[in-house]
Structure 1
């Protein structure tokens, strides 16, 4: 594995860890703001400011012609993020961070298998095989173990 590949994998693992931090952080915010929707709104507002500052620092420039040519589904990422943040903020106080995140990862993996298998939404095709199914099954076994023990 090259240094660049290792750095990419590490960055993705760190981003995954950030989602584990995001859930209890937004859950605490939801209690203070009396609603997971209010917490998600504040979370996205802070995230929007952070992204604006990052775009300014990096001098990023959008390709408006390419943006106009996108299919409608390409604009829905923020909506999926809303579902994730609200559900995490709601779930953590009820189920705990570990079970909430484990269930979310299980759902992500299950749908990811389908997306990969069909090459949906522009992802590269990776057929469902016994190894991939076993990997997802192990995550579901992990959900049961986190829930029961």
Structure 2
């Protein structure tokens, strides 16, 4: 069936393209986080208040997400559906607030390269642990030798970035 083979090849190519698109989006997100740390730090200095700067950052993000949600056409859950959600699933915003506030306070003290390299190392270590054990609803991806070498190389990179 030559036609079926061609369709399979096209589908495989499209899946590969989508995977690369998500890789590119992940890199752009990293760029955005670097820019965000500078923007939020500048806001902190303008306001002389790191918590207010974080609040404004989250507030503008909140309104942006409300607009995206309203135009997305996705249904809004009912109050009963919201009550069914486990308590710990609501903590992402608190964790995000702690992260943004820590970045706002720390970036001018240790610099963006030090801050973000340490942050990325922490994220990667946590991600490998979450993946390995399948925590928080993630599918399990065992921590093989390549992943551990990758983490070690990231840590080595952090040492080089942070060392003055």
TM-score (norm 2): 0.84
Aligned counterpart, 2:123: 108
In 1, Cα distance between the equivalents of 2:145 and 2:17? 30
Hey, what's the Cα distance between the residues in 2 that align with 1:120 and 1:33? 39
Q: CA deviation at 1:5?
A: 1.4
Instruction: Name 1:46's counterpart in structure 2.
Output: 60
From 121, 138, 143, the equivalent of 1:128 is: 143
Q: Partner of 2:87 in structure 1?
A: 72
1:128 offset after TM fit, Å? 1.6
Give secondary structure in 2 for the equivalent of 1:60.
coil
Matched, 1:143 2:134: no
Partner of 1:25: 39
Deviation of the 1:70 alpha carbon: 2.1
Aligned residues: 149
Name structure 2 gaps, 5 residues minimum. Answer: 1-12
| Deviation per residue, 1:43-94 (Å, 9 max, x gap) | 0010011111111222332233553332211111111111110111111101
Distance 2:132 2:69 in 1: 34
Provide the TM-score with structure 1 as the length reference.
0.92
Q: How does 1:82-101 map to 2 (within 5 A)?
A: 82-101=97-116
Q: Which runs of 5+ in 1 are unaligned?
A: none
Give the RMSD, CA atoms, in angstroms: 1.5
Aligned-residue offset at 1:35: 2.1
Determine helix, strand or coil for the equivalent of 1:20.
helix
